Amino acid sequence: MTILLRIIPAGFVVRRPQRMIERHVVAYRRQWLIIVSGFFEPLFILLSVRAGLGDLVGEVSVAGRAVPYEAFVAPALMASSAMNGAVFDSTGNVLHRLKYARIYDAALATPMSPADVAMGEIGWALLRGQMYAVGFLGVMAGLGLVESWWALLALPACLLVGFAFASIGFLATTYMRGFADMDMVNTVVLPLSLFSATVFPVSAYGDLAWLVQVSPLYHGVALVRAANTGVWSASLVAHALVLLVVSLVALLAATRRVDLLLRK
């Protein structure tokens, strides 16, 4: 808590982050195809898993129960896609608005605060991510990969994953010098989506299991998977807390960076 207090910028005031979202809604009215195209990637991934991988791997044990591999991997894909969407929205797009389009400079000349800008951008990434998560869940249900109504809780779980990664992505972007630095994003995101107990259960990592647990995505995958199977345990509270704390710390740090960069 003391760390949180120390990094809260003196002028951390959130009044109208929704204005930033309003701007994006208007701007994307002209580019709705971009929004729609976001639904397809996870759909293709799910279909390919269905078509091939599932037969090869057979069954996997989750919380002591044997489940078909595709039911094991689908929630992980859902969490990964929430992460990818959030990172995508909060890095490249934000860098463009921050350094080239100077949209935040314009906003900060009004009563908007740096916290409004940061929260608005992260909120937008979440909103967009939630749309895709709903689509994803619908496809999963259509393919018979959803086990119970508990699966609806995968939506708030994806919201948490999105919050964490949008905040981290935004924070990282404030340190980028130009689009060349965007390559680093892929360097980080790809291993995360492969090694966060997504395609293998965490037990398969042996002595390196602790490393997996450092990844925020691991905690998100655990939540989405639990929602999908409807098997609950106390450790889920810890997973959710990790994501929440990471999100808030990154959000506050990002706000401070916006303040430093744009109000110098």
Partner 1 sequence: MPFVSVPPVMPPTSDSLIVARGLTKRFGDFTAVDGIDVEVHRGEAFGFLGPNGAGKSSTMRMIGCVSSPSDGSMHVFGLDAATHGAQIRARIGVVPQLDTLDTELSVKENLWLYGRFFDLPRAECRRRATELLEFAQLTDRADSIVDNLSGGMKRRLSIARSLINEPELLLLDEPTTGLDPQARHVLWDRLYRLKQQGVTLVLTTHYMDEAEQLCDRLVVMDQGHIVAEGSPRDLIARYSTREVLELRFAADGNEAAAAQLAGIGDRLELLPDRVLIYADDGETALTETHHRGLSPESALVRRSSLEDVFLQLTGRSLAD
Q: Name the residues that contact partner 1, by CB under 8 A.
A: 11, 13, 15-16, 19, 22-23, 26-27, 30, 101-103, 105-113, 262-264
Q: C-beta of 261: minimal distance to partner 1 in Å?
A: 12
The rounded distance, in Å, linking the Cα atoms of 151 and 75 is 9
52 vs 111, beta carbon nearer partner 1: 111
112 vs 140, beta carbon nearer partner 1: 112
Q: C-beta of 263: minimal distance to partner 1 in Å?
A: 6
23 vs 50, beta carbon nearer partner 1: 23
Q: C-beta of 162: minimal distance to partner 1 in Å?
A: 23
Most distant CA pair in the chain: distance in Å?
A: 58
84 vs 255, beta carbon nearer partner 1: 255
Structure token digits, residue 1: 């808590």
Angle between helices 235-262 and 216-229 in degrees, nearest 10: 140
33 vs 109, beta carbon nearer partner 1: 109
Structure token digits, residue 159: 């919201």
Using DSSP bridges, classify how beta strands 65-68 and 59-62 pair: parallel, antiparallel or unpaired: antiparallel
Handedness of CA 89, 12, 102, 19 (dihedral sign): positive
- Residues shown for the chain: 264
Strands (E), the chain: 59-62, 65-68
Q: C-beta of 119: minimal distance to partner 1 in Å?
A: 14
Please provide the DSSP assignment of 41-58 as one string: HHHHHHHHIIIIIHHHH-
How many CA atoms within 13 Å lie on the side-chain side of 185?
28
Q: C-beta of 259: minimal distance to partner 1 in Å?
A: 9
24 vs 225, beta carbon nearer partner 1: 24
The rounded distance, in Å, linking the Cα atoms of 12 and 228 is 37
Q: C-beta of 123: minimal distance to partner 1 in Å?
A: 15
